[in-house]
Structure 1
Amino acid sequence: MKKIIKNGTVVTATDQYEADILIENGKVSAIAASLNEDADEVIDAKGAFLFPGGIDPHTHLDMPFGGTMTADDYETGTIAAAYGGTTSIIDFCLTNKGEPLQNAINVWHEKSRDKAVIDYGFHLQLTEVTDDVLNELPGIVENGITSFKVFMAYKNVFQADDETLFKALVTAREQGALVMVHAENGDVIDFLVKDALQKGNTDPIYHALTRPPEAEGEATGRAAELTGLADSQLYVVHVTCQEAVEKIAAAREKGYRVWGETCPQYLTLDQSYLAKPDFEGAKYVWSPPLREKHNQDLLWKALKNGQLQTIGSDQCSFNFNGQKDLGKDDFTKIPNGGPIIEDRFSVMFSEGVKKGRISINEFVDMVSTRTAKLFGLFPEKGTIAVGSDADIVIFDPNAERTISASTHHMNVDYSAFEGMKVTGEPISVLSRGEFVIRDKQFVGKPGSGQFLKRKRFNSNLQLSEEKATQ
């Protein structure tokens, strides 16, 4: 089936131009100033931007945490993502010590099967790097899971030691994978948390006060130096503060292959939200925590100057009633995470492009293209070009709306951005040439999303970006 999208303005990470797009068999087959050949459907995108589908590199769907399960699974989570302009996600597959990694991968395939409405891939958590793990990893990378996640926090739950991190980095260099770290000093945080509880400090604000920015900065610097020592590659997830940005910038100055991600919540919300009365601060408990407001400008500047490169959502939704309130008398029992996946694209356009903090091409790079390059999806994903998958967002740059739990599509009872007014909204979203969202209505099909077998890490794809920031 042939489709032509006419009269829109194509925007990629490098270009902006008016053109028509021909879609055949799920791919972009032609781009021209005017296409007049026969098509089964002609879509008028007059006045709209045509963006490559967003790629969210950081999601947690149907994930167990703290005795409960995230409120959004692969069906509700990917539907919400599609409404928000995201056509691919990479979700975190959690593993168990002593068990074959493939067991965990099989569990995550079961979670996603017949549910996802957009394409998806997995990052693989590593809690240990034993001989058995080393024997498994080459086959796992060959089968398209080409990124490993190591937690430096959550002591006695997810936290791995430095030896595990270093072995993961060495293995990633050898196998062509990318290591991701949650960079906080879990040992220090564990001490501070126990001290707070002993003193009777149990309110949500103490989640932030026991996870100071210095703990994030220290762990980020340590991971970066280990990366340099291993001559490997590192991706630091959800960077929140000056202390961490400075460590990433210093590592990149040394020529280390280090990249950083931040999230819309850290660019727009601040630590004061955790101090809201009547336990409402629990809505904003996630890790790393929200920081003092001055960090927002620092993060925007780091994105603009290339010290940070990508935008993830860190989608990890828990209901306020029935889940977050598990920690009513103990902030450590509040499930960590927030509902972000649906609003990542629009918040970044509204707060970034519309307010002049980043250019429209930088926006595309941050929400789609750079992720595709770092995680083995480019050029099939992350751009609009002949031969690429027809993952296209038809976007009204002037539409105004107010974000609210009453209108969002996530399976959760609150919005992290409740009441925020944004400009710019996805109108229709195509995944591999088929509408998932059409005129702001869901028309997709659970199970239509495909597993993304990703290519190995390719440092050559990063060369032009690295030269631009040196």
Structure 2
Amino acid sequence: MRTIITGGTVVNATGRAHADVVVDGEVITAVTAPGLITEADRTIDATGKYVIPGGIDAHTHMEMPFGGTFSHDTFATGTEAAAWGGTTTIIDFAVQARGTSLLATLDKWHAKADGDCAVDYGFHMIISEVDDGSLKEMRPCIDAGVNSFKMFMAYPGVFYSTDGDILRAMRRATETGSMIMMHAENGIAIDQLVAQALAEGRTAPVEHGLTRPPELEGEATSRAIALAGVTGAPLYIVHLSARHALEAVAAARNTGQNVFAETCPQYLYLSIEDMAKPGFEGAKYVASPPLRTRDHQADLWRGLRTNDLSVVSTDHCPFCFEDQKVLGRDDFSKIPNGMPGVEHRMDLLHQGVVAGEITLERWVEISSTTPARMFGLAGRKGTISPGADADVVVYDPAATQTISALTHHMNVDYSAYEGMEITGRVDVVLSRGSVVIADGAFHGKPGHGRFLKRDLSQYLL
């Protein structure tokens, strides 16, 4: 089946042009001068709109276990919500439980996702236990298309790895050409601050932010960078929230070290003031790292412009307010960590274009093109060009909308951006040539999405 998307402005990371996009089956076959090719089975009018590559959210947590509960979006509901927001690929995390193998973990996550996803998907691997077995299994994980491994300097007793563990895993990453991803917060110090707060009767949600100060994110980021420098391993800092951490990343990059970082929309738009809302309302905004004071936001936008922040992902980890966040009503340390966001990433980043923080091209780059290159999907995803998968979004920059839990499609009972009025809206979404969003309706289906066996990162070759 041939589809022509006509009349729009095609925007890639490298530039923009008025052009038509021709799709045959699942692949883009041509980007041509307007009107050059007219014969098609289906024509999509994109006049006055942008034609951009489908978004890649490289950090999601569907059905993730945390604190005795699970994030509320399944792979079916979460990927449908992603499609509504113009994201056509997610990369989720397979979470190793202590005492289990990496390969058994990967099998478990395949069982959760296979046949349920509305858009394409891949996996990163969380290493919770560093031993000879897990280090050995990194190679077969890579062979299976999972070549990025997340570790934690936070959550002692659950995910935490010592500096020695991290050093061992980084050496293995250097040997195999794979990527270490790091949750960089000083968990040992944070646990002491949490214990002190609780002992003093400080139990409100805002204490989550006060006991995880930005200095401890900066310290852990610097330490992770130092360990990566010793081993020669590439390093990707996930969900960077604070200028302290950004300064460490920028300094390392200025010396030529292979260090990369992502941030998330919540750190660009929300603040610790949200966690301080009256009553228990602030629990909706509890995530790790926590929201910071608003003065950090300008630094993060600057980091996106200078490429010291290379990617924007969501860390989508939705826990319902009414029956999950309430687990920590009398103890902030028991509030499940995470916020919903997979549906609104592209829209929220577009507000950066509207405000002049980033260009159109940079919008596409940080939301789609760089994630593709970073995580082994270059050529297939993240570009409107011949030979690429036909993951295409027609985006209306003039439309307006108000974000609300009443209208979003994520399987969670609140929105972190409730009532926020924004400019721009997804109009049509194609996933590998199939229309999944059009005319204000979902036309996809669970099982359309395919597992993506990823190559090694383009940035490490």
Q: Same fold (TM over 0.5)?
A: yes
3-state DSSP of counterpart to 1:136: helix
- What displacement does 1:457 show? 2.3
Partner of 2:388: 388
In 2, Cα distance between equivalents of 1:53 and 1:36: 23
Report if the CA contact (8 A) 2:95-2:128 is conserved.
no
Partner of 1:349: 350
- What displacement does 1:160 show? 1.1
In 1, Cα distance between equivalents of 2:460 and 2:135: 26
In 2, Cα distance between equivalents of 1:460 and 1:69: 34
After TM superposition, where is structure 1 displaced by more than 3 Å over at least 4 residues in a row?
A: none
Partner of 1:407: 407
Partner of 2:271: 270
Partner of 2:194: 193
3-state DSSP of counterpart to 1:92: strand
Partner of 1:69: 70
Amino acid at match of 1:290: L
- What displacement does 1:460 show? 5.8
- What displacement does 1:326 show? 0.7
Report if the CA contact (8 A) 2:148-2:181 is conserved.
yes
In 1, Cα distance between equivalents of 2:322 and 2:197: 25
- What displacement does 1:307 show? 1.2
Amino acid at match of 2:395: F
- What displacement does 1:128 show? 2.7
RMSD value over aligned CA atoms? 1.0
Partner of 1:97: 98
In 1, Cα distance between equivalents of 2:318 and 2:378: 29
Partner of 1:3: 3
Partner of 2:162: 161
Amino acid at match of 2:305: K
Q: Does 1:215 align with 2:188?
A: no
In 2, Cα distance between equivalents of 1:177 and 1:99: 21
Deviations 1:293-316 (A, max 9, x none): 100111101111111111000000
Report if the CA contact (8 A) 2:234-2:460 is conserved.
no
In 1, Cα distance between equivalents of 2:360 and 2:101: 44
- What displacement does 1:161 show? 1.1
Partner of 1:231: 232
The alignment covers a number of residue pairs equal to 460
Which region of structure 1 is more displaced relative to structure 2, 287-296 or 124-133? 124-133
3-state DSSP of counterpart to 2:423: strand
Partner of 1:464: none
In 1, Cα distance between equivalents of 2:385 and 2:457: 21
Deviations 1:32-67 (A, max 9, x none): 013334221111111110010000011000111111
Partner of 1:27: 27
Amino acid at match of 1:207: H
3-state DSSP of counterpart to 2:8: strand
- What displacement does 1:421 show? 0.8
- 5+ residue gaps, structure 1: 462-470
Partner of 1:438: 438
Partner of 1:467: none
In 2, Cα distance between equivalents of 1:279 and 1:99: 36
3-state DSSP of counterpart to 1:379: coil
Partner of 1:378: 378
- What displacement does 1:100 show? 1.6
In 1, Cα distance between equivalents of 2:119 and 2:425: 18
In 2, Cα distance between equivalents of 1:446 and 1:38: 31
Q: Could you state the TM-score of these two structures normalised by the residue count of structure 1?
A: 0.96
Amino acid at match of 2:285: Y
- 5+ residue gaps, structure 2: none
Deviations 1:196-221 (A, max 9, x none): 11111100010001000011000000
3-state DSSP of counterpart to 1:445: coil
In 2, Cα distance between equivalents of 1:176 and 1:155: 28
Report if the CA contact (8 A) 1:426-1:440 is conserved.
no
Which region of structure 1 is more displaced relative to structure 2, 76-85 or 134-143? 134-143
